[in-house]
C-alpha cells in the first residue's frame, strides 16, 4: 500500500467519525454515467468531494498501440459518444497532418466534415441542456431536447448508417458522400429547429426557478479555470474567448463566419452555472449559422457531381514519418487532443541477418486528452462548501461524458 | 516568443545544463529539459510576462520500450494570451522493476490540472511524481497489479483467486 493510499484511507475513516461520508453514484442518474463522488458532508454542507473515475475505462490508448490509424477511428467514436464526429475529426486531422496530405483534401469533403461536426455539436449541447434541466427538476425541456436531437440522429444516420457511433470521417476523405437530398433535408431541419430554440429559451433559460437554482452557484473564476485546464464552454463561461476553431483556424473554419459566445454574468457572477448553460445555448445558434453557410457552399459552388469520389484521396498505406505530433481541436466539450508518437519498427532480415527499419501503420504511443477529463478535475475545487443540492447543479453544468473521462 | 528565444530565456535563468537537447525535426519542436528542473521551468514559463504558458494542454507518460530502458514525460503547454504552444520533454533511464519506479518532480503545484494527468501516468505507465499531493491510482482499482501501458505488460491470470485468462 502506497503512502497516498494510506493517507486517503485514514482521511475517510476519520471523516466517518466526525462527519458523514456519502456516496453519490456510480449508479446515480444525476452523475451522467458512471461517476462515483465520495462526499464528506457536514449536515447539508459538502466539505469535500473525492471523485472516483475509471468505471468505463476501455483501454483506448492500449488498443491504439496495436491497431492501425484507420482501425482506431471507431474507437475514437466511443470516447465522447455524444459527439462522435468531432472525435474522429480530430483524430483524422492529426493523422493527415502527419502524413502531409491535409492540404490536398477537397473542399467539398472539408465542408461536409464541418457540417456533420456542427450537427453533432448541436446534438451534444441539446443533451447537456436537457439533462441539466432534469437534474434541476425541469422535466419538459428534456423531452423537447430529445425530440429535436432525434432529428439530428436521423439525419446523421442517413449519411453514415449509424445513429451515434458513425465512423464516417476517414483519413483522406469520408466513408461515403452525402446521400442525394441530404442538403435540402438538412435545411428543412434548420428552419424547423430555429423557432424551437426560442421556445426552449422561454421555457428554461429565462425560467425564474431555473435561474434561482443556477445563478451565482458554482462560480468558476477565470484563473482557476485556466489552471485546471478547463476548456470549451466551461472556460468560455468564465469569460474568455478561447475557441480553437478560431485560434487554430483548422479545416474550413476560417472561411466561415460565427461568433464565440462567452459568459457575461447576466444573471449573477461571471462563470456561474447559468453562464455555462447559456454559452451552450448560444453556441447552438452559432452552430446553426455555420451549418447554413456550409449548406450554401455545398449546394452552390461545391455541388455534388456524379464522378465525385470521397475516397479518392484515401492513402493506400498510412505510414507517417517517425515523429511526435499533438493535434487539438474544439470538440463539443472543449479541447480534444491526441498526442501521437510514431516510430519505425525494427526487424531482422531473414536472409542477411541485418537489422532493418520498417515503416509501420501502428503508432508507438497515443495519448488522448479528453476535455471532460480536465473539466471534471475542477469539481473538488468548485464544490468546496456548497450545499448538496447545489452540487447537483454544478455537476450538471460541467457537462462531461464518462466515456471520455475514462477512455 | 519564438522557440529560440524561449531557449535562451531558460538558459539565462537556469544556466546551460537546464536544456539537455532539442528535437526540431517534426512539426512541433520540443525542448528536452533536465528532469530535476522541470517544475521550476514550468513555473518560470507560466509566470514570465513574455511567455505566459498558463495552460497545460496535455501531460503524457511514456515508456520508450524495453530496449531503450527509458521513461519520460511530455508536456504540451499553451499560452492563452499569446496563442502559442510549446512542447517540453523529460526522460531518464530506469529499470523495469515495479518496486523502483522512475521518479520525476511533480508540476501539480504549478498547474493543478497536472494532478489528474500525473495520477493517470502513475496508474498506466508507472511513473512516480515527487511532491504530488495525492498520488493514487486514478482509472484502475487501488489493488491493481502492474502498469498496463508499459510495453512489457502482461495481464494477470488471476484476480483475487478468480481465473480471468
Instruction: State the pLDDT at residue A29.
Output: 67
The pLDDT tens digits for A372-391 are 999 999 999 888 889 988 88
Lowest mean pLDDT among A12-16, A222-226, B76-80: A12-16
* Nearest CA-CA distance, residue A324 and chain B, Å: 7
> Band of the pLDDT at B18, cuts 50, 70, 90?
confident
The pLDDT tens digits for A328-374 are 999 989 999 999 988 887 777 777 778 878 788 888 899 999 899 99
Residue appearing with cell numbers 492540404: A103
Give the separation between CA A116 and CA A184, rounded to whole angstroms: 14
Q: Which residues of B touch A242 (CB under 8 A)?
A: 80
What domains are there in chain A, each with its CATH number? 60-314+366-406 (1.10.645.10)
Contact A227 B112 (CB under 8 A): yes
Counting one residue from chain A and one from chain B, the pairs whose CB atoms sit within 8 A come to 94
Contact B27 A97 (CB under 8 A): yes
User: Is B136 an 8 Å CB contact of chain A?
Assistant: yes
Contact B28 A325 (CB under 8 A): yes
* Nearest CA-CA distance, residue A53 and chain B, Å: 6
C-alpha Rg value of chain B to the nearest Å: 17
* ipTM for the whole complex: 0.90
User: For the purposes of burial, counting CB atoms within 10 Å of the CB of A277, is it exposed (0-12), middle (13-18) or buried (19 or more)?
Assistant: buried
User: Is A100 an 8 Å CB contact of chain B?
Assistant: no
Q: Which residues between 51 and 80 in chain A have a beta carbon less than 8 angstroms from any beta carbon of chain B?
A: 53-54, 57, 59, 61-62, 65
Contact A227 B27 (CB under 8 A): no
Q: Which residues of B touch A226 (CB under 8 A)?
A: 54-55, 80
pLDDT at B1 over 70: yes
**SS3 state of residue A338:** strand
The pLDDT tens digits for B147-164 are 888 888 888 888 888 888
* Nearest CA-CA distance, residue A379 and chain B, Å: 11
* Nearest CA-CA distance, residue A227 and chain B, Å: 5
What domains are there in chain B, each with its CATH number? 3-163 (3.30.460.80)
Q: Which residues of B touch A377 (CB under 8 A)?
A: 112-113, 115-116
User: Is A22 an 8 Å CB contact of chain B?
Assistant: no
Instruction: State the pLDDT at residue A326.
Output: 92
Mean pLDDT of A386-405: 88
pTM attached to this predicted model: 0.89
Contact A328 B57 (CB under 8 A): yes
Give the contacts of A389 (CB within 8 A, at least 6 positions apart).
A44
* Element spanning B79, H or E: strand B70-79
Angle, nearest 10°, between helix axes A182-200 and A140-160? 170
Biggest distance spanned by C-alpha atoms of chain A: 79
Percent of chain A with pLDDT over 90: 23
Cβ atoms within 10 Å, residue A95: 28
Amino acid at each position: 500500500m502506497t503512502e497516498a493510499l494510506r493517507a486517503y484511507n485514514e482521511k475517510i475513516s476519520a471523516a466517518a467519525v466526525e462527519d458523514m461520508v456519502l456516496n453519490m453514484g456510480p449508479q446515480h442518474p444525476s452523475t451522467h454515467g458512471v461517476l462515483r463522488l465520495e462526499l464528506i458532508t457536514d449536515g447539508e454542507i459538502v466539505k469535500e468531494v473525492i471523485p472516483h473515475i475509471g468505471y468505463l475505462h476501455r483501454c483506448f490508448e492500449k488498443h491504439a498501440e496495436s491497431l492501425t490509424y484507420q482501425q482506431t477511428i471507431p474507437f475514437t467514436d466511443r470516447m465522447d459518444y455524444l459527439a462522435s464526429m468531432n472525435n474522429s475529426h480530430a483524430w483524422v486531422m492529426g493523422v493527415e497532418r502527419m502524413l502531409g496530405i491535409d492540404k490536398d483534401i477537397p473542399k467539398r469533403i472539408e465542408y461536409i466534415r464541418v457540417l456533420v461536426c456542427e450537427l453533432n455539436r448541436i446534438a451534444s449541447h441539446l443533451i447537456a441542456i436537457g439533462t441539466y434541466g432534469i437534474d434541476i427538476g425541469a422535466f419538459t425541456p428534456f423531452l423537447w431536447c430529445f425530440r429535436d436531437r432525434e432529428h439530428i440522429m436521423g439525419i446523421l444516420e442517413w449519411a453514415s448508417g449509424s445513429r451515434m457511433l458513425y465512423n464516417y470521417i476517414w483519413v483522406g476523405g469520408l466513408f461515403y458522400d452525402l446521400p442525394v437530398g441530404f442538403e435540402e433535408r438538412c435545411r428543412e431541419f434548420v428552419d424547423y429547429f430555429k423557432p424551437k430554440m426560442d421556445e426552449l429559451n422561454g421555457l428554461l433559460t429565462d425560467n425564474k426557478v431555473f435561474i434561482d437554482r443556477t445563478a451565482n452557484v458554482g462560480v468558476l473564476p477565470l484563473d482557476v479555470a485556466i489552471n485546471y485546464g478547463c476548456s470549451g464552454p466551461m472556460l468560455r463561461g468564465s469569460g474568455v474567448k478561447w475557441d480553437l476553431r478560431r485560434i487554430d483556424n483548422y479545416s474550413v473554419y476560417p472561411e466561415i463566419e460565427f461568433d464565440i459566445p462567452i459568459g457575461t454574468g447576466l444573471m449573477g457572477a461571471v462563470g456561474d452555472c447559468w453562464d455555462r448553460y447559456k454559452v451552450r445555448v448560444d453556441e447552438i445558434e452559432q452552430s446553426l449559422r455555420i451549418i447554413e453557410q456550409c449548406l450554401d457552399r455545398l449546394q452552390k459552388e461545391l455541388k455534388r457531381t456524379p464522378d465525385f469520389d470521397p475516397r479518392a484521396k484515401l492513402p493506400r498505406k498510412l505510414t507517417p514519418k517517425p515523429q511526435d505530433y499533438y493535434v487539438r481541436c474544439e470538440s463539443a466539450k472543449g479541447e480534444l487532443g491526441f498526442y501521437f508518437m510514431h516510430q519505425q519498427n525494427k526487424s531482422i532480415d531473414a536472409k542477411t541477418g541485418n537489422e532493418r527499419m520498417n515503416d509501420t501503420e501502428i503508432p508507438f504511443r497515443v495519448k488522448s486528452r479528453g476535455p471532460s477529463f480536465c473539466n471534471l478535475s475542477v469539481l473538488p475545487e468548485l464544490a468546496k462548501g456548497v450545499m448538496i443540492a447545489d452540487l447537483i447543479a454544478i455537476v450538471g453544468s460541467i457537462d462531461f461524458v464518462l466515456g471520455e473521462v475514462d477512455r | 516568443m519564438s522557440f529560440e528565444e524561449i531557449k535562451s530565456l531558460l538558459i539565462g535563468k537556469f544556466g546551460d545544463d537546464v536544456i539537455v537537447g532539442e528535437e526540431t525535426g517534426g512539426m512541433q519542436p520540443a525542448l528536452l529539459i533536465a528532469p530535476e528542473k522541470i517544475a521550476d521551468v514550468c513555473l518560470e514559463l507560466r509566470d514570465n510576462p513574455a511567455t505566459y504558458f498558463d495552460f497545460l494542454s496535455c501531460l503524457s507518460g511514456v515508456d520508450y520500450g524495453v530496449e531503450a530502458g527509458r521513461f519520460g514525460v511530455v508536456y504540451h503547454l499553451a499560452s492563452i494570451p499569446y496563442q502559442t504552444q510549446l512542447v517540453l520533454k523529460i526522460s531518464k533511464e530506469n529499470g523495469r522493476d515495479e518496486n523502483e519506479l522512475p521518479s520525476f518532480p511533480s508540476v501539480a503545484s504549478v498547474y493543478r490540472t497536472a494532478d489528474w494527468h500525473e495520477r493517470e501516468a502513475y496508474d498506466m505507465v508507472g511513473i512516480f511524481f515527487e511532491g504530488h499531493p495525492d498520488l493514487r491510482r486514478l482509472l484502475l482499482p487501488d489493488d491493481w497489479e502492474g502498469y498496463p501501458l508499459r510495453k512489457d505488460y502482461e495481464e494477470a491470470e488471476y484476480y483475487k483467486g478468480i481465473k480471468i485468462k
